[in-house]
Amino acid sequence: MLQRGAPRLPGLGLEKYSAALERGWQKLSLLGLYAVGLFLGAKTAGGAASGWQARLLELLRAQRLNRADLSAFGSALGYFGTDFLFMLAAFLLGLCAAGLPFVLLLPVLRGMGTGVVSGWLYMVYGLHGVGYSVLVLCPAAVVSLLIMLAYCKESMLMSGDMLLVVNNKQEKMESSLRLYVTRYLVLLLVSVLAAALDALCFAMFAGIFEL
């Protein structure tokens, strides 16, 4: 079970190694789930029916035209809104004793969204679609992924703490809750940078590609 007070490996100065290993496997697991989502999204794009592809084409074109008409602030705000919704869902799930399985779904869903768009761009536009993905979509997506790994890990730990409270195995939660909220606020501020990066990449590179 995930919890903040998990026991460390005894003796021989292995405590720090154990803590690093614990942090590492959690994030690697989340990264693996994101990769599963990418794969599923790409397969969905590749196997989509022509009618679905046409609708997606119109949606992407409409989004691109709408973004072109927006100010840099408006473009960044739209990207931030998506990040905020995922972060809010993870935050609330972390406060639930049964939230852990649902937290694990978030990187899968986020990966599927990225996989569908990137896979479809490659399938329809070939190297131009790859270039658009690399220059316009990927920079902010990588930052958002790192942020998601961090806040999903926090939610996993907090959900484990909540389960201990429900089972009367842990009483004091004030300090854990304060730390939880503080870390989320920091990650929320960092997500503003991801939104700004997305707006910058779109302004600099989207015009190169005629999609």
The answer to whether 86 and 150 are in contact (CB under 8 A) is: no
Question: Residue 104: what pLDDT?
Answer: 94
Q: What percent of the chain has pLDDT above 90?
A: 44
Whole-number mean pLDDT of the chain?
A: 82
Selection from 188, 208, 195 nearest residue 91 by Cα: 188
Could you tell me the pTM of the whole model? 0.81
Backbone angles phi, psi at 103, to 5 degrees: -60, -40
What pLDDT digit, counting tens, does each position of 159-197 carry?
A: 988 888 887 766 667 788 999 999 999 999 999 999 999
Question: Residue 5: what pLDDT?
Answer: 45
CA–CA distance, 38 with 122 (Å, rounded to integer): 14
Q: Indicate the domain borders of the chain.
A: 15-208
Question: Residue 119: what pLDDT?
Answer: 84
What pLDDT digit, counting tens, does each position of 17-55 carry?
A: 445 545 567 888 999 999 999 999 888 777 655 566 667
CA–CA distance, 142 with 147 (Å, rounded to integer): 9
